[in-house]
Amino acid sequence: MALLKRLPAQLSVAARCSGSLRSFSAIPEAVEDDETVTVTVNPYKLHRLDEGPPTEVETSKGELLGMFKTMYTMRRMELAADLLYKQKLARGFLHLADGQEAVPTGMEAALTFQDSIIQSYRDHCTFLGRGGTVREVIAELLGKETGAARGLGGSMHLYKKEHNFYGGEGIVGTHIPLGAGLGLAHKIRKDGHVALALYGDGAANQGQVAEAYNMAAIWDLPVIFVIENNHYGMGTSDRRASKSAQYYTRGDYIPGVWVDGMDALSVKSATAFAKQHVLQHGPLMLEMDTYRYHGHSISDPGSTYRTRDEIQGIRRARDPIEHVRNLLQEHSFADSGELKRIEKDIKKDVADQIEQAKQDAYPPIENLWLNIYKDGLGAKLRGMEMGRPKIQLPEGSAK
């Protein structure tokens, strides 16, 4: 990205779009004599739009440092989660998003926590973007009571209602109509906020996706459909799975934008544009062209259907963290020594939070029958005994 001009210190585009203060990357970090610059991002591709997001994006030292720290924290957390599963300290499913960190980071730079997000099962980094902590993520993977879903949901079901993050959904594509429903709620309330439904290229061919598009368009809902196209649905490339892999055009009557999803500033500009568009005109689609470094899940080595050279080539050419690192150095906002110190601090912080999660308590055994009946009916757990069920209800209560 070439430096176009240096501007007086002022709030970034993200801050102006956010409308209220928040604790994540939408507001730049406090930096003394913060300097604002404008950089050029890759061109957008448009569908049913005369104009798209600005390719000249305003940012600052504070925002770029915040993005660097955010994405590096996400990367370290995902690598740590992978190790915990290999050590058999965490069980169940695991879908990592290392490589895709620019999507949640850039989106949150243009949103507030009053906007709603619903995500697929690759949800760890999105949860952090919504103001969650590494400890909450890791504790959930370990089944601890301090986890994001109190140890009851696991990797695919992170949740943060107070910041309008509605999960983490484990069944492919089923949450997309729920995203339209969140948009309907915003419209009914007339609160000026929007809903984002995130899903992968593998979910884009699901029938309920088309139904959600149709209803959202009929009712002009303030919904942004975000396709995180990492180019592989499990082990099948998007070109083999879809007759048209131009997912930003798949809404037909819904406008769409192709976005460089490996560039957090490009994502920020596209999300800010999309938010204003859907509030005025109804739904819009954003296709985030991104890439995952790990396989589809913990059981997938990720190298049987693509070459190691392909993965390393993406790392060298498009890694989202390295891109922000280069911007910070190019504009003399930070040198390599300072960035290495930041990385060291983040590694320690992530390690400390993981240790805290390991020490946290498991949920009590009684939680096995929570959220089944409104009234617990006095259920008690018995030991295994031939011929008798494990859970005994008081006589006459199971009617």
DSSP labels for 98-118?
TT-THHHHHHHTT--TTSEEE
Q: Sheet of 36-40: strands edge to edge?
A: 3-7, 36-40, 56-60
In this structure, the strands spanning 391-392 and 380-381 are antiparallel
| Residue found under tokens 């290999």 | 86
- Residue with the larger pLDDT of the pair 32 and 34: 34
Per-residue pLDDT, 373: 75
CA distance 136 to 79: 16
In this structure, the strands spanning 284-289 and 256-260 are parallel
Among residues 68, 47, 38, the alpha carbon closest in space to that of 283 is found at 47
Statement: residue 19 has pLDDT above 70:
no
- Residue with the larger pLDDT of the pair 396 and 139: 139
Main-chain dihedrals φ then ψ at residue 223, nearest 5 degrees: -120, 135
pLDDT band at 18 (very low <50, low <70, confident <90, very high): very low
- Cross-strand partners of 391: 381
Q: What separation in angstroms does the CA of 270 have from each of 16, 42, 142, 221, 336?
A: 15, 11, 36, 18, 29
Share of the chain above pLDDT 70, in %: 87
CA distance 30 to 107: 20
Statement: residue 393 has pLDDT above 70:
no
Per-residue pLDDT, 276: 98
Per-residue pLDDT, 29: 74
Per-residue pLDDT, 369: 76
Per-residue pLDDT, 51: 97
* Segments of the chain assigned E as strands: 3-7, 36-40, 45-47, 56-60, 116-119, 165-168, 195-200, 223-229, 232-233, 236-237, 256-260, 284-289, 380-381, 391-392
Q: Residue 103 carries which side chain, given as an amino acid letter?
A: V
- Cross-strand partners of 297: none
Statement: residue 164 has pLDDT above 60:
yes
Per-residue pLDDT, 372: 78
Among residues 201, 197, 196, 169, the alpha carbon closest in space to that of 296 is found at 201
The string of pLDDT tens digits covering residues 279-293 is 999 999 999 999 999
The string of pLDDT tens digits covering residues 64-88 is 999 999 999 999 999 999 999 999 9
Per-residue pLDDT, 386: 59
Indicate the average pLDDT of the chain.
Answer: 90
The string of pLDDT tens digits covering residues 239-268 is 999 999 999 999 899 999 999 999 999 999
- Residue with the larger pLDDT of the pair 21 and 152: 152
Statement: residue 91 has pLDDT above 50:
yes
* Segments of 70-145 assigned E as strands: 116-119
The string of pLDDT tens digits covering residues 296-312 is 999 999 999 999 999 99
Instruction: Using DSSP, state whether 236 is helix, strand or coil.
Output: strand
Range 125-153 average pLDDT: 97
pTM for the structure as a whole: 0.88
Domains recognised in the chain with CATH numbers: 3-359 (3.40.50.970), 368-399 (no CATH)
CA distance 121 to 168: 5
Statement: residue 124 has pLDDT above 70:
yes
